[in-house]
Amino acid sequence: MRIWIKRVDPDHIANALSILSQAERVRADGMTSRSRGRFIIGRALLRRELAAVLGLDPADMILTQPGAGRVVLDHVRAADVGFSVAHTAVGGDDYVAVAVASAPVGIDIEWTHRTLDIPRMTARRFSPHDRDRVLALSGETQRRSFFALWTLKEAVVKWSDGKLLDIMMTTAFDMSGSRPALCQPARADLLGAQLFSSTVEDIGLMLGCAATEPGPPSLHFDARGCFEP
């Protein structure tokens, strides 16, 4: 399992655009400037990583996305790979993350310094166990705990193809070990989730990952924003 986190650099969007399909280019043209950059770099990075696994040219990958639904890989070996894409704003920059594995995987990234009413969000969206954990903390410790749990919950949603609010409010996490884990007894549909959490300290970026593979993932971070197909 590999995870790439890459900064969106406007100077490298044209290079990334070269490996997108015509349908993807049309879709990108209808987006705002920042959304367009995130989409192009994210989709190109996904193509590059999937192509490396499947032994294909990135431009030859057939990816479809009905509406706002999940991206679908049209390939005879589609069942052999799992993938997930996430993005977030980090101050004036945008970052995208792509995970590719041999089984279902979900990732989320969040900037921990963004303005947010953490006590209010925690009280409204977290399970009682996780709510009590976060609200018992304060300051930076509370902020880090909140985003660690939030990114893990989002990752579990993507891994399980579940409902966001349902997962947010019914899952509880044990953060006391070397790796996060679902509190037991866990929901039957979430058994087998392998959880990982990591931070890029210098920019305050939090990563949550849920996967079927035992891991841990190979994590690659690129703040330069260069893109080479």
Given a cut of 90, is residue 127 above it in pLDDT?
Answer: yes
Is the pTM above the cut of 0.85? Answer: yes
pLDDT digits 0-9 by tens, 7-62: 999 888 999 999 999 999 999 999 998 999 999 999 999 999 999 999 999 999 89
Which residues is 218 bridged to in the sheet? 2
For residue 229, what pLDDT is reported? 45
pLDDT at position 216, please? 87
The residues spanned by each domain of the chain are: 2-222
At residue 226, does pLDDT exceed 60? no
In CATH, what class is 2-222?
A: alpha beta
Residue 138 has pLDDT above 70, yes or no: yes
Residue 172 scores a pLDDT above 80: yes
The residues with which 222 forms a beta bridge, in sequence order, are 6
**Pairwise pLDDT comparison (202 vs 229), residue with the higher score:** 202
> Whole-number mean pLDDT of the chain?
92
